[in-house]
Chains A and B, each alone.
Chain A
Amino acid sequence: MGAAHGRLSAPVSSGPTYGLDEGALRALVPRVLAGLVRRGEDFDAAEDALQEALLEALRAWPEHPPRDPQAWLATVATRRLVDARRSEAARQRREEVTYAEPVPAVTEEGDDTLFLLFCCCHPDLAPASQVALTLRAVGGLTTREIADAFYVPEATMAQRISRAKRTLRGRRLDQPGDLAVVLRVLYLVYTAGHAGRVDLAGEAIRLTRRLNLATAEPEARGLLALMLLNHARLPARLDSKGRIVTLDRQDRSLWDTGEIAAGVRVLQSALAAQTDEQPPGRYQVEAAIAALHDDAPRPEETDWPQILAWYDDLVALTDDPARRDPAAVLGRAVAVGHVHGPDAGLRETEQLRELLGDRHRWHAVRAHLQELGGDLPAAATSYAEAARRTANVAERDHLIRQAARVRAG
């Protein structure tokens, strides 16, 4: 990701006098913030103070580049905090606002990212707030950029972030958080898209890489592998007119082989760290499935039996059928169709009708299997049903074209 995405603001990415590129500057955000919060500052106030320090940096650094940017930001943010406290002191005395207990200093260095991710992905926050706060406090994006990425007014995103920070006020932030929530939030950021002005998929990969510097948890590596292995196919997923190209029709020479190799390496290291007591979690399993797709030079060479075996593992991760991931059970039905024939796949989908029959993906999977089995009229109807139900314009257009193509024979 580069200057083209316009992080912080244009002068930062283009100003050569800083001696610090945009990525390096943004990497300082969580380090400085974690330092302030660990010292006992309120998360909310510290985050505001750091944002002000960053704005100050934009003004001051072109003329006076700092010798130590991190120390500069910490100093200015601290000054802002002191100022804010002074002006608030009188009001505080009146209202007897109790501040959060000072957070004891954590001794480990280098896990600022993990510490802040646990703050931002606090289980008391709604997913949308966790995502917004993570992008701002850990990713260093501005409120404006986050608002643009999710197509909401800046004021709405600002409100969402400040509410989230208010919720965190007074919470103890020194406990280890829930890593599963952090992984889910990062995956949400990744799947939110890649075509907006802010490259959220690239941002998610960057944050997950940094998370992996701080934890050896195999699932964190599994998530990074999954992102890399899917992201590698991105250049082939849309044609020159922006139309969706399905996996079986993609130009595989467009896939990023370097990213695939990196994803496979990360996945292998995750799987190697697993034990019998702790089988691979969902991200590792999904990464393994993605790796098998990436590994096929041609669609016909896809190793469907192995993919089906991984899908069996994925579905078995959840006992309760109602709580299973729809994408997992439907993906498994497709794999069954390729291994045991389209009719077997369709029988699988029949068992899911009650649970998922009103989802567009259920109809799309049936359309694919019906087409595979040569039942073109049924496939056309299913594609049209799927098109009617999706909330995604690109996907709807794709499904309508599929229906028309199949109808035309």
Chain B
Amino acid sequence: MPKFLLLKYYRGGPESPHPFPPMDQWAPEDVDAHMAFQNHVSELLEENGEYVDARALTAERTWVRYGGPDAAPVTTDGPHPETSDLIAGWWMIDVESRERALEIAAYASSEPGPGGKPMYEWIDVREVMWERPTDD
């Protein structure tokens, strides 16, 4: 059974067909409905025996690299801190097929936005590589 990461982004990815304001500008009940839907997706995956993991990331980012011998690590918040892609979190799922992963991602993308309307959010679907060689 292949595993997939369904990645959600704070920003980046293809242009949204239905742009929304940032969540801190939504009506409180819309925020609640949105959060409840995220939990509902996780519960659904658990019920199906497809759940592996779900995590959210803060929007803080630090790029860091080796500074060279005897030098401190070098850090920056990026070349374009306001516009570059920024991952918000993920579900990891264990499913029968890529088709099933896309189906789940599309469902997750129907999450309610302001006024309870679907957000049509782009979800980045990535297959997780497995470590073990198969015995064939």
The yes or no answer to A126 lying at the interface (CB within 8 A) is: yes
Q: Does B25 contact A (CB under 8 A)?
A: no
- Are B135 and A230 closer than 8 Å at their CB atoms? yes
Most chain B Cβ neighbours within 10 Å, of A150, A156, A190, A192: A156
A195 interface residue (CB < 8 Å to B): yes
Chain A positions 171 through 212: 1 when the CB is less than 8 Å from some CB of chain B, otherwise 0: 000000000000000000011111110000100000000000
Chain B proximity of A244: nearest CB distance (Å)? 6
In the bound complex, how far is the Cα of B94 from the Cα of A126, in angstroms?
Answer: 13
Q: What's the Cα separation between A153 and B54 when bound, in Å?
A: 12
Answer yes or no: B15 CB below 8 A from chain A CBs. no
- Once A159-B46, A393-B130 are accepted as A-B contacts, the answer to whether A191 and B1 lie under 8 Å apart by CB is no
| Minimal beta-carbon separation of A350 from chain B (angstroms) | 24
- Bound Cα distance from A193 to B1, whole angstroms: 12
Cβ of A169: which chain B residues have Cβ within 8 Å of it? none
A254 within 8 A of B: no
A372-B58 Cα distance, complex, nearest whole Å = 52
B94 contacts A150, CB within 8 Å? yes
Task: Please tell me which one of the listed residues B47, B94, B129 contacts residue A393 in the complex, with CB atoms under 8 A apart.
Answer: B129
Kindly state whether residue B31 has any CB partner on chain A within 8 Å: no
Minimal beta-carbon separation of A166 from chain B (angstroms): 11
Report A141-169 residues with CB < 8 Å from chain B CB.
Answer: 150-153, 155-157, 159-161, 163
Contact present for A195 and B52 (CB under 8 Å): no
Q: Whose C-beta in chain B lies nearest to the C-beta of A201?
A: B135
CA of A129 to CA of B48, assembled, Å: 11
B48 & A394 in contact (Cβ 8 Å cutoff): no
Name the one of B49, B51, B94, B135 contacting A193, with C-beta atoms under 8 angstroms: B135
User: Is there a chain B Cβ closer than 8 Å to A296's Cβ?
Assistant: no
Please give the distance in Å from A164's CB to the nearest CB on chain B.
9
Is B131 part of the binding interface, using a Cβ–Cβ cutoff of 8 Å? yes
A235 to B3, CA, bound (A): 28
Complex: how many Å from CA A159 to CA B52? 12
How far does the Cβ of A357 sit from chain B's closest Cβ, in whole Å?
Answer: 17
- The residue that A238 contacts in the complex, of B1, B47, B133, with Cβ under 8 A, is B133
B49 interface neighbour in A127, A151, A163, A392, Cβ under 8 Å: A163
A367-400 toward B: CB 8 Å interface, digit per residue (1/0)?
0000000000000000000000011111110000
B129 and A391 contact, CB distance less than 8 A: yes
Q: A127 contacts which of B46, B50, B96, B132 (Cβ < 8 Å)?
A: B96
A352 within 8 A of partner (CB): no
Question: Which residue of the partner chain B has the closest CB to A149?
Answer: B132
Interface size of A in residues (CB-CB distance below 8 Å): 37
Q: How far is the CA of A163 from the CA of B46 in the complex (A)?
A: 11
CB of B135 within 8 A of CB of A163, answer no
Is A128's CB under 8 angstroms from B133's CB? no
Q: How far is the CB of B98 from chain A (nearest CB, A)?
A: 10
Contact (Cβ within 8 A) B51 A156: yes
Asked whether B135 lies within 8 Å of A392 as measured between CB atoms, the reply is: no
Whether A327 sits at the interface, judged by CB under 8 Å, is yes
Docked CA distance A195–B49 (Å) = 23
In whole angstroms, how far apart are the Cα atoms of A196 and B136 in the complex?
15
Given A127-B96, A391-B2, A391-B127, are A155 and B46 neighbors across the interface (CB < 8 Å)?
yes
Residue from the list B47, B94, B131, B133 in contact with A152, Cβ < 8 A = B94
Other-chain residue from A126, A195, A234 in contact with B132 (beta carbon distance below 8 A): A195
Considering the complex of A and B, which 10 residue pairs feature the smallest CB-CB distances, nearest first? A160-B49, A394-B133, A159-B49, A193-B132, A195-B132, A152-B94, A393-B129, A194-B135, A128-B1, A201-B135
Q: A residues near B, CB below 8 A? A: 126-129, 150-153, 155-157, 159-161, 163, 190-196, 201, 230-231, 234, 237-238, 244, 327, 390-396
Please list 7 pairs of residues, one from A and one from B, whose beta carbons are closer than 8 Å in the complex, sorted by A's number: A128-B94, A192-B134, A390-B129, A392-B131, A392-B133, A392-B134, A394-B133
13 more A-B contacts (CB under 8 A) besides A193-B132, A193-B133, A230-B136? A126-B96, A150-B1, A151-B52, A156-B52, A159-B48, A163-B48, A163-B49, A193-B135, A238-B133, A392-B132, A392-B134, A393-B131, A394-B132
